[in-house]
Structure 1
């Protein structure tokens, strides 16, 4: 579990950094930075489960929204990449919060 936390911190910080060049960084930067913060906080104390119960449904609802906005499923479509990023972020939050 520690290795997963160690990997999540730089990966999701890098994801957040890449979003600063996006037209809407105010949405995407926090989505990825929050996952990195949860991984970092998990080293020092247990992250309350309600954090997962709040974030995961938000991320999944956003993922469904972007999936429905995609004209077709291909990696060249921005909505598909946003959908997959939200799925990755929600899976990481689930592992970080619910797996002790």
Structure 2
């Protein structure tokens, strides 16, 4: 579990950094940065489960929205990449918050 946290911090900080040149970084930067912050906070204290109960459904609803907006499923479609990024972030959050 410690290794997963160690891997999540730079990975999601890098994902957040890549969003800075996106047309809407105010949305995407915090989405990925929250995962890195939660991974870092898990080293110092247990993250309360309500964090997962709030963020994971929000991320999944956003993922569903972007999936429905995609004209077709292909990696060249921005909505598909956003959908997959949200799924990755919500899966990482689930492991970080609910796995002991």
Which TM class, normalised by the smaller chain length?
Answer: over 0.9
Poorly superposed stretches of 4+, deviation over 6 Å: none
- SS of alignment partner, residue 57 of structure 1: helix
CA distance in 2, matches of 1:59, 1:92: 11
Structure 2 CA distance, aligned partners of 1:37 and 1:48?
13
Q: Quote how far apart the aligned CAs of 1:34 are.
A: 0.1
1:70 corresponds to 2:70: yes
SS in 1 for 2:21: coil
Query: Whole-Å Cα distance in 2 between the matches of residues 33 and 70 of structure 1?
Result: 24
TM-score (norm 2): 1.00
Query: After superposition, what is the alpha-carbon deviation per residue over 1:44-89, rounded to whole angstroms, capped at 9, x for unaligned?
Result: 0000000000000000000000000000000000000000000000
- 1:31 and 2:24 matched: no
Q: In structure 2, how many angstroms separate the alpha carbons of the residues matched to 1:9 and 1:21?
A: 20
Q: Equivalent residue for 2:43?
A: 43
Q: Are residues 1:88 and 2:76 paired?
A: no
Q: Which runs of 5+ in 1 are unaligned?
A: none
Number of matched pairs = 100
CA–CA distance in structure 1, aligned partners of residues 77 and 10 of structure 2: 25
